[in-house]
Structure formats: C-alpha cells, structure tokens
A and B are shown apart, each in its own frame.
Chain A
Amino acid sequence: MAFETPAAVELRGLTKRFGSVIANDGVNLRIQPGTIHGVIGENGAGKSTAMKMLYGIFPPDAGEIIVNSKTCVWESPADAIAAGIGMVHQHFMLAGPYTALDNILLGAEPVRCGVIERKKARTRLEALARQYGLPVDWDSPIEELPVGVQQRVEILKLLYRDAKILILDEPTAVLTPQEANELFRNLKKLRDEGKTIILITHKLKEVMSFTDHVTVFRAGKVTGEMPTSQTNPQELANLMVGRKVVLNINVPPAHTRDELAMEVAALSLAGTVAGSRHKLSDVSFSVKRGEIVGVAGVEGNGQSELLQAILHPREPLCRTSGTVWFLGEDVTHWEARDIRDLGVAMIPEDRQREGLLLERPVSENFLLGLQRSSAFSQGGVLNSRNLLAAATQAEEEYDVRPRDLAIPAGKLSGGNQQKLIVAREFQRKPRLLIAAQPTRGVDVGAIEFIHNRIVRARDEGAGVLLVSFELEDILTLSDRILVMYEGRIAAEFARGQVSEGELGLKMAGS
C-alpha cells in the first residue's frame, strides 16, 4: 500500500560540491507523506547539505528535487516555504530582544494599509497552538523563554506558514532529556495530523524510538534506507560508520591504586543573589588513580560550577569555600599553569570556547598548553619541526579528519574538534584526567574511540573525573557514579549497582 502513495519528497541523484569536497554524491531519497523520517549519519556525512538543498538554501549542482510529484527548482528558501516546506535549524533563527509573536510573523506578516495586523495573526496562532498543543507566551522577548519553548516557537513558525513538510536539524542537541521527550510527543501529534517530518540526527536512540523510516548517510552518499521496525541500532551504526562499531565497549574491571588522583572537601559556591540557593553546597569526594568517577545529573544542577571550582579554585567567582587537592598537593591557591604541570589533562565542557582557538590552524591548537614543554620550544622559540611531527602523528593516531594541520580548527566538524582536543590532552600522559561532556555532539564512531581512550588512560594509572549528561557515558565508563542534584552530591553507586531507570530517578531528585 505504501508504494501506491506518491512520495512527499523525493531526491534524485542530488550532487553538491564545495570546492574540492563532494558533500553530496548522487543522493537518492524517498519520504512518504505522514511519516517521521529519520536522516542519520556522522558529522559531515552530508545529511544537512541534502536538507539545505531541499529547503532552497543553496542549489544542487546536479539532480532533481521532487515535492508532491512536482520537480522543483528553488531560488531561495522563500520558494521552498511557498511549496509547504519548513525547516527548524540547529541554531535557532530567532532574534532575542523581539517577541515570540514578531519572530513567528517575520516575512509572513498579515498587512492592512501598510500596518502589521498583529491581532489577526495572534488569533490564528492561538488556534494553531491549541490544535497541536504548543502553548507559547506570545509577548515575551525570545531571550526570556526557555530553550524548549523557543523550539516550539520555531515549529509554530512553520505551521503558521502552512508547512506540510517539516525538517528538523538535530533538534535535541540543545534540549534536556525532559524537553526532548516532550518534543517527540509533539512531533508524533503533528504526524498524526498529517504532517511529514524529517528528523536529522546522529542519535541512534531517537531514530529507533521515534521514526517510521530511516535513511543513513555516509561520506556524501546514502548507504541504507529502511523502515525503522526492520533495523536495529547496531546495523544503523555500522552503516553510518562503514565498519563494525562496538556500541557498548567492554570495560575491564579497574585496578584502583590507593594513591589519590584528586580530592575535594566541602567545596561550596554561594548563589549570585543574596539568599539564593548555593550553586554548590558542601561537595566532597575523591578520585583514586586508576579509577573513573562519573558525575551524573540533569544539566544545570551544579556540574558546570563544580568543574569551574575544581579548575579555578583561586577565583572567588568559582569557589567561596572548600579545598581542592590534586595528586596529593593542595592546589586551592595555585595558578592554572602550575596545576597543569602536575600532569592534569582536561577535556573542557565547551570545546569551542575553552578548548580551541577556532581561527588558528590545527597545528597551533595542538600546541595549546604544551607551548612551554621542552619538546616544542627552546629558549622561547617554537620548534615547528618537532611540533609538526608530533601533531601529524597524533592526527594519524586519533584519526582527526581531514589530515591537514594548516586548516583552522573551526573548519573541523564537531567530532573531529573533540578528537583534536583528546589527542592534545593525552599527549601530556596525564595522571589526572578531567573529562567534561567528552562525547557531546560526537557521532557513534568517535564515541567508541573516545570511550576506549578514556579507559586506556585509566588503565595506565590516571584518575579520571568524568562529567556527562549522557547516561551512556556514565554507565559505560564509570567505576563509581556520583549523582548531582541542586548543587549537592545526592547519591553514590559502584559500577553495576544501579540501573538506568534508578539513576534517572535520582537525577530528578527523588
């Protein structure tokens, strides 16, 4: 029966080059109307490129776009919008100081006598919001709305323009798990009302739970298309990466040493407003060498503050009281440089802001923090031959793609940026590794790789403090799990002592 209905969208032999790179190479894709269709692939596999062509952001070099049995040539997104296609971009297209209403109306304002009829638009939007269960405070400036509601505004923007085909680019990247669940409930409702939804993602779990069909991209080509019910995460992962991926790496038991890698005692950070709840209250724990301690928790429960307090204990903005020891030394009043010289490696939470100089070449980013080591500098002069040799070797070993030391780090995909940071930090042969969100925005192949590296660091005697919102990271890697809730350590478990469900409950504060 499904074969009888004409496709809502069909892409035939779509090809796009950027310079010498082929982003899309003869992409064929059929999307049935009234379904949720997952489009998955690693970072840089070409899935976003294909969708941007479908939405008219840039034209294909070759191939056809067919929407509702009509061949379409778009000049700009305006044409695609007119044909009933809408896109929610990964980075929201919303201007912070303006109201939700104005953000939705933009470009499609109902006008009478040259004046925007806000009342009319509002009535219509209120009806749409009721129909699809997407309540929004129309008059609030966007910047005052939570991210989940901002996304609702983006979806309403499409519905307001009568979009029949909704493209969502990595919609859960910015959402908490609760917000993500709500999003998917809404998407199912939209599908049941007859909309066609294209979900671009690299998260296998989302594809398996919420899509009807799935198309897999790898290196600019489609490597598989099937109903979701006839596949499994393992098969999808293999198609995405092009080899057999180990989804759950086998972590051997830890050989914990008695020596402490780090310890914090009674760490606190007062709230910024007098009388408000402490952002960190009385946090104490330790990490031994040869052990991975995972800190789990829902975003915003003090994990970022904990990391900042550990990394910058001198700063009064990061720590109001408490003590931090690294490798037996009281480092509470130390400079960052001296702390790093102890043998501390760090994968920062926000890799683009804290981990890399995006404008500078990969080679210089590899040097960051190592610039004083005798291997790379003599008498204040950089030894670029040593640097290039070491960086080349590291790129090879850590599979940073493309293998080009001269391109700016910002041009690498998210997963490769992360691998570059991991390569650099492991260059230090750390005795203590602080890894924050090590797999954020990273695809399955790279997750496996980074997990393996962290375990190897542990087995070579490093103590590892792992902070992650991804339960998968925590449950796979941690020898001990700490749960943070409202700035405190709310629970502690040993490996294997806790199920995902129980952990989720503790994270929610029960």
Chain B
Amino acid sequence: MSWDLLASTLRVSTPLIFAALGGMFSERSGVINIALEGLMLLGAFAAAVGTLVTHSPWLGSAFGMAAGVLLAAVYALFVIRLRANQIVAGTAINMLAMGLTPFICKILYDVTGSTPSIPLHERFHSVPLYLCWALVAACVLWMRYTPTGLWVSFAGEHPEALDAAGIRVNRVRWMAVLVSGALAGMGGASLSIFLSSSFSRDMTAGRGFMALAALIFGKWKPLPTALACLLFGFADAVQIRLQGVAVWGGHPIPVEFIQILPYLVTILVLAGFVGRSHPPKASGTVFEKG
C-alpha cells in the first residue's frame, strides 16, 4: 500500500471517527442515535457558514458543534423528555436536517446546492485529523477512569441501578446526547471545511449511518470503533483512487459503481459481525422511575 493511500485513508476517516465517538456517548447511555446523519449534515453546513462569516476554521467548527448540540437538544427533548420512539424521532431529525440545510442555504446565498467556496487558507489542513485521534484516546481514558464515564455506561446497561445509586439517569442521558451532537457536528465540520471546500447538499451521503455501523462493529468501545472507521475510510480512499482508473473489458468502470465500495464494505461487515456484537442492554428504552 502506498503512503498516499494511507494518508488518504486517515483523512477520509476523520469525519467518521468524530461522528462514531459522538454516537458512542449517546448509545452507551441508552439512547440510540440514528440521528447522527442529520446532526453531521447540519454541523457541516453550520461550520461552512461559520467559516465564511468569521474567516476562521476554529470558529467555524465551533459553529458546527453548536448546531449539532442544538439539533441534538431537539432530539433529546423528544426521546428523553417526551419519550418518543427513538428510531422514529431520529429519522425525523435526519429529514429535518436534509430539508433545513438547502432551505437556509437558499436564504443566505440564494442557491440550494452548495455554499460559496471557502478560501484555501481559511480551511483546516490537518488539525481535525490529529484532533480525532486525541479524542479517541481521551474517550478510552474517560470511559475507564472517570465517574461520569461509569455513569454513562450504567445508564445504558442498567438505568435502574444508576437511579438506585442516587444518580439521575435522564440527566446523564441528556448530557450524553448533547455531547453526541457536538461531536457529530464536528464530524460534519471536518467534512465541509477540512475534506472539501464548501458545504454541498446532502454531502454526508450516509456517513452518519456508516459511523453507526462502525460503532456496532467496534462493540461500542472507542478504540475498536475508531479502527472500524479506518476500515470504512480505507474503502472510501480506495474508491476515490479507482475512479477513472479501474477498467473492465477495455472500458473504464462507471464512477457510480466504484462509489458503491464503502457501502458494500459496511453491509458485508455488519452482516458478518453484527450477530456477535451486543448493544447496551437498555438501549432504546425510556427510563421511568418506580
């Protein structure tokens, strides 16, 4: 494997890792986060707009994370406070983000397709890549060594035990979902202001779901999840490399077919391994006292 391909793998894995770590917080606390896709998409959009406005990728990604937190708060309100079904509410959040981003884009820039291009010197060049791996390490330590890490685990595995120990389960879940929104927002930001030069419509293209798949494949643990993201990232990098190069019977293979590759890997991995991966026991359930 060439160094090029490795570098490319690391780069395209970055948004996945952020989003998957975000998903980990939420899911370990017992809230299924199928809304990752929508959180990422809104984050990508807000980060692009923020960078265009402030001319700083740092402030831009803060915009992205704030947007993620905001949308995650809406999600938490529905599933924790109002006890809505998590799959249905998550899907609604995804659709909301899909509709909201081109709508606001149209208001701001009078086009629905994409934001204006961000100048090269105002984009991130490598920061998110290092940041996401630092975050992986932080998450490993945090889950293992801090009280809040333990609380999140118990909120998802046996919420009644956490409640009996005097910790408020829903407060822990709220925090976890908000953190999840911030990280998914950062994942989106690294898509729009690190890997590309603008936000374009539906640019996440299923990466939120791929992050979920990585989370399942990684058994909801930070390091294995990040490695699973690398696998999907590798498939993506290979796919990019093969475009226009791969040949079948003298003709180049259409790009559309090559682009299937990462999704194909996702399906194969999930079909092959999901049976051996057990989610937190209380995931997807509403916590009620008594």
A-side residues, CB < 8 A to B, are: 52, 57-58, 76-78, 81, 87, 89, 91, 93-98, 102-103, 105-109, 111, 114-116
B-side residues, CB < 8 A to A, are: 145-147, 150-151, 153-154, 157-158, 160-168, 281, 289-290
* Most A C-beta atoms less than 10 A away, residue of B147, B153, B289: B147
Minimum C-beta distance from A102 to chain B (A): 6
Q: Which residues of A contact B153 (CB under 8 A)?
A: 95, 98
CA distance A103 to B165 in the complex (A): 10
A81 touching B157, Cβ below 8 Å: no
Question: Looking at chain A's contact residues, is the secondary structure mostly helix, strand, loop, or mixed?
Answer: loop
CA distance A116 to B147 in the complex (A): 6
- Whether A95 touches B158, Cβ cut-off 8 Å, given contacts A57-B289, A58-B290, A106-B151, is yes
Q: Which residues of B contact A102 (CB under 8 A)?
A: 150
Question: Looking at chain B's contact residues, is the secondary structure mostly helix, strand, loop, or mixed?
Answer: helix
Give the 9 A-B CB pairs with smallest separation, nearest first. Answer: A107-B165, A78-B166, A93-B161, A95-B158, A95-B157, A109-B147, A93-B164, A106-B165, A115-B145
B154 touching A95, Cβ below 8 Å: yes
B289 touching A106, Cβ below 8 Å: no
CA distance A107 to B161 in the complex (A): 10
- Whether A77 touches B163, Cβ cut-off 8 Å, given contacts A114-B146, A116-B150, is yes
Minimum C-beta distance from A19 to chain B (A): 13
Residue from A77, A98, A103, A115 within 8 A of B166 (CB atoms): A77
Q: Which residues of A contact B145 (CB under 8 A)?
A: 115-116
User: What residue of chain A has the Cβ atom nearest to residue B144's Cβ?
Assistant: A116
Minimum C-beta distance from A353 to chain B (A): 17
CA distance A477 to B290 in the complex (A): 39
CA distance A108 to B162 in the complex (A): 11
CA distance A103 to B289 in the complex (A): 20
Q: List 7 A-B contacts (CB under 8 A).
A: A93-B161, A96-B157, A98-B153, A106-B154, A106-B167, A116-B146, A116-B150
Q: Which residues of A contact B162 (CB under 8 A)?
A: 106-107
CA distance A55 to B158 in the complex (A): 19
CA distance A21 to B254 in the complex (A): 70
B161 touching A94, Cβ below 8 Å: yes
User: What residue of chain A has the Cβ atom nearest to residue B164's Cβ?
Assistant: A93
CA distance A96 to B280 in the complex (A): 10
Q: Which residues of B contact A109 (CB under 8 A)?
A: 147, 150
A58 touching B289, Cβ below 8 Å: yes
Minimum C-beta distance from A157 to chain B (A): 8
B146 touching A115, Cβ below 8 Å: yes
CA distance A131 to B146 in the complex (A): 29
B150 touching A57, Cβ below 8 Å: no
CA distance A254 to B207 in the complex (A): 73
A76 touching B157, Cβ below 8 Å: no
Minimum C-beta distance from A107 to chain B (A): 3
CA distance A258 to B180 in the complex (A): 72
Q: Which residues of B contact A115 (CB under 8 A)?
A: 145-146
Q: Which residues of B contact A105 (CB under 8 A)?
A: 150
Minimum C-beta distance from B222 to chain A (A): 16
Residue from B166, B281, B289, B290 within 8 A of A107 (CB atoms): B166
User: What residue of chain A has the Cβ atom nearest to residue B141's Cβ?
Assistant: A115
Q: Which residues of B contact A91 (CB under 8 A)?
A: 160
B166 touching A81, Cβ below 8 Å: yes
B160 touching A93, Cβ below 8 Å: yes
User: What residue of chain B has the Cβ atom nearest to residue A97's Cβ?
Assistant: B157
Residue from A52, A57, A93, A111 within 8 A of B158 (CB atoms): A93
Q: Which residues of B contact A58 (CB under 8 A)?
A: 289-290
Residue from A87, A89, A97, A106 within 8 A of B150 (CB atoms): A106
CA distance A91 to B161 in the complex (A): 10
B146 touching A98, Cβ below 8 Å: no
Q: Which residues of B contact A78 (CB under 8 A)?
A: 166-167
Minimum C-beta distance from B162 to chain A (A): 7
CA distance A1 to B164 in the complex (A): 36
Minimum C-beta distance from A282 to chain B (A): 37
Minimum C-beta distance from B152 to chain A (A): 11
